[in-house]
Amino acid sequence: MPEFCIAGVAESPLGHVTDQSEPSMIALAAMAALDEAGIARTEVDGLFVNYLGEEGSVQLGEYLGIEPSHADSSDLGGGSWVGFIGHAMAAIAAGQCEVALLAYASRQRTLRKRSRAHVLAPPPPESITAQFDQPAGVPVPIGHFALVTARHMYEYGTTEEQLASVAVTGREWARLNPKAWRRDPLTVADVLASDRICGPIKKLDCCPITDGGGAIVVTTAERARAAKRPPVGIRGWGESHTHWHPHQRRDITSTAAVRSGRQAYEMAGIGPEDVDIFQPYDAFTITPILQLEDLGFCEKGAGGEMFAQGHLRPGGKLPAMTSGGGLSYTHPGAFGIFLVIEAVRQLRGEAGDRQVNPAPKTALVNGIGGLCSYSSTVVLTND
Amino acid sequence: MTDNDDILDPTTAAFWTAAADGKLVVQRCAACGHSQLYPRPFCLACDSTDLTWAETPGLGTVYSCVTVHLPVRADLPPPYSVGLVELDEGPRLLAAVPDDAAIGDRVAARWQPGDGGARPVLSFAPAGSLADAAEVVS
Ligand SMILES: [Zn+2]
């Protein structure tokens, strides 16, 4: 069994990107990540992409001039790229490829792909969604997360102030990241005063819509020997999904991270007490709270208080969302790839003003996908 | 009975036929007694394919609910409230709930005819108004 690592990472242009296409953004990120890895483009034989339309890996393969021996365009929502790390390890272990390129780009801010007409295009009338979900008029995805938020508040006493403290935590990190989309000071009161959009969720409980993308190179330690930056070890991964329709999940405040986290911890031989830095997926303020709980950093129901006490902020005992997260740094429709990029940079000690000090040795990354449906978890280390 | 061309899913056809008559039905397993919605060709609890339809009184409890302030559809001007309602038989449904609904409230299902031959529309009213609901659909 080869020892797996992330040999290179890069962001594409971020924010409001008017001078690039999605394939060209991916190409820029891919070439930068491969340069870090010390691996030539023509050595890539595994291609993992999503959200580029039907047969996305085929189209991107042509654009990049890559004819892979293994391809994966699984749609696992925003958490896909965290999951692709595990898929790439499995493909490499099976001898199907040796150098896996994981990539993503979206210009949904510029192209307004997330307009209501796009997101709420009527599902086919024979679908379960059209019959049992869509008639109620729950906006996707925010309505699903709002139902989870409301139930979490009811079951555990989580407050709107605690939810707001998640957004404030991300912003404190974003203020240290020159690439972050939102860097103005933010207070709990600001979040509470923002427009109510759906249930307990207000405007500043939601991620912004940006353009952006990135690339990750996953390979073996052997193939990463020419890397220009220290490769980061992949020690554990896991994934699962639980449901699509909210009425089909018995406990909507418990996520697939319970299972994916257990798998990742077991493979890595560690527990939450060994994690130095945490990268949760913060599409809405409720999601990092759920992930703290489901990944064992606190008791179920205590995640909101853990944020409110400042434990995840700069200088806190469990630094989290250190790029600024989806809520403040960037969120081009899917955020998973950026969680991995940030964890790698923190583990390498190259995160600039936001660098956690001393540099963390073990990072836990958790991607969320779908309608609070999917979770992928990886353990990354710098030793 | 109805012969609604819009019912394209044979597994759920009986659900919508009952709805057109103002009835809320759940799929019940003859082998183990488990009730489920949406319907499947097998029982999620025991895998039996011996499934029947059981009419329910439509009584349930609000499991979660939110008020939507976004414009989602032209026929649904915000704000409006939507809830996950757990029927006493076990299955949950997503549907409109009263504006002041709270988690734990008792509610009762009611069907209203869909516009222009569309499927009937489910909503939940306060449980005390079950008698009113029966009048609406008759
Ligand atoms: Zn059964």
pLDDT per residue of chain A (383 residues) written in tens, 0 to 9: 569 999 999 999 999 999 999 999 999 999 999 999 999 999 999 999 988 877 889 999 999 999 999 999 999 999 999 999 999 999 999 999 999 999 999 998 888 765 444 455 678 889 999 999 999 999 999 999 999 999 999 999 999 999 999 999 999 999 999 999 999 999 999 999 999 999 999 999 999 989 999 999 999 999 999 999 999 999 999 999 999 999 999 999 999 999 999 999 999 999 999 999 999 999 999 999 999 999 999 999 999 999 999 999 999 999 999 999 999 998 888 999 999 999 999 999 999 999 999 989 999 999 999 999 999 999 999 98
Instruction: Tell me the CA–centroid distance for residue B31 and ligand 1, in Å.
Output: 5
Asked whether the predicted pLDDT for residue B138 surpasses 60, the reply is: no
At B136, is the pLDDT very low, low, confident or very high (cuts 50, 70, 90)? very low
Count of A-B CB contacts under 8 Å: 96
Asked whether the predicted pLDDT for residue B133 surpasses 60, the reply is: no
Best of A119, A133, A134, A138 to mutate (most B CBs within 10 Å, chain B): A138
Closest to A151 (Cβ–Cβ): which among B63, B67, B93? B63
Q: In what order do the strands lie in the sheet with B51-56?
A: B35-36, B24-29, B51-56
Which residues, listed in sequence order, are joined to residue B24 by a DSSP beta bridge?
B56
Q: Which two tokens stand for residue A233?
A: 């070890």
Kindly report, residue by residue over B24-68, the tens digit of the pLDDT: 999 999 999 999 999 999 999 999 999 999 999 999 999 999 999
Integer Cα distance of A56 and A48 in angstroms: 9
Q: Could B94 and A142 be called an inter-chain contact, meaning their C-beta atoms sit closer than 8 Å?
A: no
Rg, C-alpha atoms of chain B:
15
Interface of A with B in 308-347 (CB under 8 A): none
Residue A378: name the closest of A336, A350, A349 by CA.
A336
pLDDT for position B79: 97
Burial of B99 (0-12, 13-18, 19+ CB in 10 A): exposed
Q: Could A135 and B121 be called an inter-chain contact, meaning their C-beta atoms sit closer than 8 Å?
A: yes
Instruction: Tell me the CA–centroid distance for residue B105 and ligand 1, in Å.
Output: 29
pLDDT for position A118: 43
pLDDT for position A11: 96
Q: Could A135 and B122 be called an inter-chain contact, meaning their C-beta atoms sit closer than 8 Å?
A: yes
Q: Could A196 and B69 be called an inter-chain contact, meaning their C-beta atoms sit closer than 8 Å?
A: yes
Integer Cα distance of B122 and A340 in angstroms: 43
Asked whether the predicted pLDDT for residue B130 surpasses 70, the reply is: no
Q: Is any Cβ of chain B less than 8 angstroms from the Cβ of A358?
A: no
Q: Could B66 and A198 be called an inter-chain contact, meaning their C-beta atoms sit closer than 8 Å?
A: yes
Q: Could A147 and B16 be called an inter-chain contact, meaning their C-beta atoms sit closer than 8 Å?
A: no
pLDDT for position B7: 59
